[in-house]
Structure 1
Amino acid sequence: MSTPQDLLIVALDAEGTRPVRSGELSLALAGAELLDLSKSRAVHLDGDRMVPGDLTAPTDRLLKEAVASLVVAEPFESVGDWLWRRGRDLTATYMAAFEAEGLVQKQGIRHFRGGHTALVDSIPRRRAAERWFSGEPVLRTLAEGLGITGEPTGEFQEIADDAAETVLAAVNGALQELEAERQRRSIEEAAYDNVWRSPE
């Protein structure tokens, strides 16, 4: 399994301080993809620019799609731009892949609206849980940025990879930017509502 797949499993499985929203998760999944592409040397970072490397390296289908969408001409794409572009609706893409692979199933009464998608017991789910509870730092940092918490059973591990630190910092920045934009829109909508409610 890839880091984005593990992250999605953790997001579906773990309890957090707040529900994980698809927009935030999509940004984090795009970051997770980039971390895997960097690890496989399909991409290397020059500052915050993504320079294509061995584009044949990924074997995972969705990571191959990610590689196919890379900007291969100078000045190349920044990590931040990648997160916003690749992250658009990425949660839905991964959920569709999980459904196709039988890793999730719909729960709830068929005749009524609602219900939810739940993970089935599977080897990928167990592997993701093992990685999560071992305290693996990249996965935990991505998950904690989404408000997912939990006590690792393994020892704390530091991130010693400059590229990983760059990507994780960019994901954190994008998540903060998204939240700030949501708050700005909420304030504007509240102000608009107040105008219509005020007496003449």
Structure 2
Amino acid sequence: MSTPRDLMIVALDVAPSRPLERGELSLALAGAEAYDLLRAGAIGLDGERITPRTGPVPHDRLLAEAASSLVRETPYESLPDWLWRRGRGLSSRYLSVLETEGQVTWERSRWLPFRGGRTVLSDTGARRRAAYRWAADEPVLLALAAAVGIRDELTPAEPVVTDDAVLTVLAAVHDAVMELDAVRRRRAIEDAAFANVWRGA
């Protein structure tokens, strides 16, 4: 079971509460990888620093890649830095892997004969496992989904995470998503101001 894979499948399978952005999804996928590595004992957290540990290599190819890319020299890498570095383009990579495995196909028509149409999930065991975790209100999956807008924020009645290390990961994802949104808004304002200058406004 891979949390980032499940998150990616849910992102493709569930109508989002707001338009999804690939940057935010990539940050959440990196956070999901950190959660799985933490759960597997491959990493620990010293405050916000990721401390690599000796453990079995994850069977999932992208998780194994994530584990091998850990900074293994002190002072180690901070969790926020990990999210930004590891998350760069990560949603596209997960989508590509799912497509290679036949988990995802591309809807084509006479007007869209090449790749670039709508993604369609195949009816596979991976999709059913992701759907099961989603229907079971698995709290980490729900929190990651809420951070990127796949669903609304959690309600008090829903299950919550109590593990401090996991909470640190989820908080870092939330902060990174908020930071990315702030950067995007600032750039939009700067671009609009620049355009107004050229128009003589």
TMscore range, shorter length: over 0.9
Please name the residue that 2:109 is paired with.
109
Please name the residue that 2:6 is paired with.
6
Q: TM-score normalised to the size of structure 1?
A: 0.93
- Counterpart amino acid of residue 162 in structure 2: A
Cα deviation digits, residues 16-38 of structure 1 (max 9, x gap): 12221111110000000000000
Are the structure 2 counterparts of residues 174 and 84 from structure 1 closer, same or farther at C-alpha, using a change threshold of 3 Å?
same
1:187 to 176, 186, 189: 189
Are the structure 2 counterparts of residues 110 and 88 from structure 1 closer, same or farther at C-alpha, using a change threshold of 3 Å?
farther
- Percent identity reads 53
Are the aligned partners of 2:30 and 2:83 in contact in 1 as well (CA < 8 Å)?
yes
Secondary structure, counterpart of 1:9 in structure 2: helix
Please name the residue that 1:75 is paired with.
75
Instruction: Give ranges in structure 2 of 5+ residues lacking alignment.
Output: none
Secondary structure, counterpart of 2:106 in structure 1: strand
Secondary structure, counterpart of 1:118 in structure 2: strand
Are the aligned partners of 1:55 and 1:67 in contact in 2 as well (CA < 8 Å)?
no
Provide the alpha-carbon RMSD of the alignment. Answer: 1.8
Are the aligned partners of 2:146 and 2:153 in contact in 1 as well (CA < 8 Å)?
no
Alignment of 1:114-193 (within 5 A): 114-149=116-151, 156-193=158-195
Are the aligned partners of 1:66 and 1:86 in contact in 2 as well (CA < 8 Å)?
yes
Please name the residue that 2:25 is paired with.
25
- 1:90 partnered with 2:90: yes
CA distance in 1, matches of 2:87, 2:21: 13
Instruction: Give ranges in structure 1 of 5+ residues lacking alignment.
Output: none
Q: TM-score normalised to the size of structure 2?
A: 0.93
